[in-house]
Structure 1
Amino acid sequence: MIQAERILLQHALMDPLNERFVFLSDSCIPLYNFSYTYDYIMSTPNSFVDSFADTKEGRYNPKMDPIIPIQSWRKGSQWAVLNRKHADIVVKDEILFPMFQLHCKKKPLPEFWRDQYVPPDTSKIHNCIPDEHYVQTLLAHAGLEGEITRRTVTHTAWLILSSKERERKGWHPVTYKLADATPMLIQSIKDIDNINYETEHRREWCTNKEKPAPCFLFARKFTRPAALRLLNTSALGLYHDEISNV
């Protein structure tokens, strides 16, 4: 995944007019029209990168030290918005990226262990999801956290799983289906104005142009029928002037 991101950025950087680089998935929908979204992103020189100290899940591999010390280890959403400087740093990185290739790998699900040795305690198998750590850790390691707004602008809701299910599957985002796609859902996401980061005891109050603002410009995961329903019912308001407080 992070190799794909680097390739995308490399090609996007070839156009000198590209100033921001937004990572979105095919299940994302916009919450606002283009002019509102553009103004929100361009109103700050910062990148938007969800980034926080990862102290709970044990994804850091001690074999990364000293190239990547644990003090630089960060976690966050892969759905980031990078400015040109930070995109260039990601593309040109030849130090942290090889370490991630060697020591940050996602644990395979049990059904793919048929031809492999299965340890008695699978909870001790190291599990690391590179795209949730790489950009965050790279920028922290470079001392650039002062140049980022440490939150994502893409909303994701997470399934509540039992500890056994979570051990097997990991955390999984909620997928919104046709019946879920209502104006009330969209408004509830637009109304979010702060994000709580438990590991850092930090609450991020969302602002834009130094004024309170909605936290999110995009949302996921929506099935195709759900996204089309929202577009057809004008629930997203994409073709109307937004009442902007940013």
Structure 2
Amino acid sequence: MQEVRWGENSMIEAERRLLGNALLDFSNQRFVLLSESCIPLFNFNTIYTYLMNSTKIFVEAYDQPGEVGRGRYRSKMRPEISLSQWRKGSQWFQIDRFLALQIVSDHHYFPVFLKYCNPNCYSDEHYLPTFVSIKFWKSNSNRTLTWVDWTKGGAHPTRYYRNDVNNEFLNKLRFGTSCEYNGHTTNICHLFARKFTTHALDRLLRFAPKLMQFN
């Protein structure tokens, strides 16, 4: 067993091991990383169809000025990674088999992160967005399919409990935004959502059969 610590390169190493094991099954064509606090917003058939029919991968990547964005960049990463290439984004990705193979076989960029992106760099928020933006930006939708609320500020997103779960709130997560999917505008932009606590489970199970058409 190998220890994994929040915000450190061990998280990326764990993700690479997960992908490596998943790639052993040649029938796996799409790969989704979720946390224990994520919930599905639609039933399996809807999620499967959305992912398998997509012409893009889903990795959030953006350039953020300031201390929690560019401020985490290490100048010693040059020339492999320049400040202009440095990106931030959610670690909760949805990718295809080709990119999964590129991630587990990356012996160019990840060693740079291992050497220079140590505590207070938070590589889990930067490695994949930077890697994808440098090499595979044309195939990236530049968004994540996992909804999360950062509007209250702080180091962690908003948590949701039992009393937060109702039809109106869940439908807001399911259809409350617009985005592009395969060249067309859609209001299904998120397939998953976080952070839901175990206290919300009972209410979620009550709404799921009717609202989300769970079997």
Give the structure-1-normalised TM-score.
Answer: 0.76
More helix by share: 2
> Is it true that 1:184 corresponds to 2:176 in the alignment?
no
Contact kept, 8 Å, 2:150 with 2:156, in 1: the verdict is yes
Give a deviation string over 1:51-104, Cα, whole Å, max 9, x none: 112333311111111111122211110010010110001000111111111221
Q: 3-state DSSP class of the match of 1:21?
A: strand
Which residue among 169, 190, 202 is the counterpart of 1:216?
190
Correspondence for 2:91:
78
Are residues 189 and 235 of structure 1, via their aligned partners in 2, closer, same or farther at CA, if it must alter by over 3 Å? farther
Amino acid across the alignment from 1:150: N
How many residue pairs get aligned? The number is: 202
For 1:150, the equivalent position in structure 2 comes to 142
Between 147-156 and 184-193, the greater mean CA deviation after superposition? 184-193
Deviates more, 1:73-82 or 1:40-49: 40-49
The question of whether the paired residues in 2 share the 8 Å contact of 1:193 and 1:214 is answered with yes
CA offsets 1:118-147 (integer angstroms, 9 cap, x no match):
xxxxxxxxx3111111111112222x1011
Say yes or no: does 1:139 pair with 2:132: yes
Deviation for aligned residue 1:239: 2.8
Question: Which of 206, 210, 214 is 1:232 aligned to?
Answer: 206
Aligned to 1:64: 77
Q: Distance in 1 between matches of 2:134 and 2:65?
A: 16
Question: What CA distance in whole angstroms lies between the structure 2 residues aligned with 1:227 and 1:46?
Answer: 32
Equivalent in the alignment of 1:19:
29
Q: Distance in 2 between matches of 1:225 and 1:46?
A: 35
Say which one has the larger Rg. Answer: 1
Q: 2: distance between equivalents of 1:188 and 1:86?
A: 31
Structure 1 CA distance, aligned partners of 2:130 and 2:61?
8
| Structure 1 unaligned blocks of 5 or more | 107-126, 195-204, 242-246
More strand by percentage: 1
Secondary structure at 1:47 match in 2: coil
TM-score normalised according to structure 2 size: 0.87
Judging changes above 3 Å, is the alpha-carbon distance between structure 1 residues 22 and 29 closer, same or farther for their aligned structure 2 residues? same
Counterpart in 2 of 1:97? Answer: 110
Deviation of the 1:228 alpha carbon: 2.9
